Amino acid sequence: MIGFGAIGCTVFKVIKNDAEVRISQIVVHNEEMRAEVQAKVGDNVVVVSRISDLPQRPEFVLECAGHAALTACVLPLLASGVDCALVSIGALASDGMQEKLEAAARQGKATITLMSGAIGGIDAISAAKFGGLDEVLYTGRKPALSWIGTPAEELFKLAELSEATVIFRGNAREAAQLYPKNANVAATLAIAGLGLDHTKVTLIADPAATQNIHTIEARGVFGQMKMEIQGNPLPENPKTSALTAYSIIRAIKNRVRPVVI
């Protein structure tokens, strides 16, 4: 597992009691974090701060570390033949990253699995694409203070908002680049459907919201779809919905189960 923040820690807590799978190695950001995480996970798990220090070739890697980890860890792992699952999917919107990942995966004959993360309905959009999609819209609404540390903080007085306020309107590529910790789902939806440049995104800071609310609207040859998830945030990081961690657990279990769902 790469990254041991809110998502990593939640995944680890569930998987550590699982009879079928084991998280055996964790890559953290730096040496200081290494000691801290080692103390949390115990001596049966190897914790390193660089992939070159991993004592064993991993069988399957889960990235839950943030956009920078794709270059530092995921590209070399794929190129060396290790299958990787990603949650920092917004990173694919920048610097030709989508092409770089595909090239590394081809080189290593490995696969990249993009997690559905905090949203559902990716299966429907991805299937509907083959009939033809006309329009896909994504709206992400989070509590006002969840936008602290993003460009919205410079544009709005987030702590003083008295009503739901649109902080961004544009396409999924711009959203993912401007809001790397809040628009991964916009990028996921876009990659599944109409693409990063043609998926319309609205982001809202809502002082009354206590959850992360994701709405998908799509129409095409398949018909229409409207879906909303009212996601509970992880206590360790309110920007992140708990479902993101559960989507990783699903991916891990699907690696070992005879029936994949």
Ligand X SMILES: NC(=O)C1=CN([C@@H]2O[C@H](COP(=O)(O)OP(=O)(O)OC[C@H]3O[C@@H](n4cnc5c(N)ncnc54)[C@H](O)[C@@H]3O)[C@@H](O)[C@H]2O)C=CC1
Active site residues: 214
**H-only helix segments in 83-223:** 97-108, 122-128, 152-155, 172-178, 184-192
Binding mask 114-153 for ligand OAA (x = CB under 6 A): ----x-----------------------------------
d(CA 218, CA 71) in angstroms, rounded, equals: 32
Collapsed DSSP state (helix, strand, coil) of residue 150:
coil
Sign of CA dihedral 186, 188, 190, 195: positive
Region binding ligand X by CB under 6 A among candidate stretches 15-23, 165-173, 222-230, 232-240:
232-240
Contact 3, 66 (CB under 8 A): yes
**Residue of minimal Cβ distance to ligand X:** 5
27, interface contact from ligand X, ligand OAA, none, CB < 5-8 Å by kind: ligand X
Residue 177 as a binder of ligand OAA (CB under 6 A): the answer is no
Give strand pairing partners of 46.
25
* Nearer Cβ to ligand X (171/212): 212
Q: Is 126 exposed, middle or buried (0-12, 13-18, 19+ CB in 10 A)?
A: middle
- Choosing from 58, 108, 180, 220, the residue that interacts with ligand X (CB under 6 A) is 180
In whole angstroms, how far apart are CA 216 and each of 13, 202, 213?
30, 11, 10
Residue 28 as a binder of ligand X (CB under 6 A): the answer is yes
Binding mask 118-157 for ligand X (x = CB under 6 A): x---------------------------------------
**Residue numbers at the binding site for ligand X (CB under 6 A):** 2-8, 27-29, 33, 64-69, 72-73, 87-89, 115, 117-118, 180-181, 184-185, 188, 236-237, 240, 244
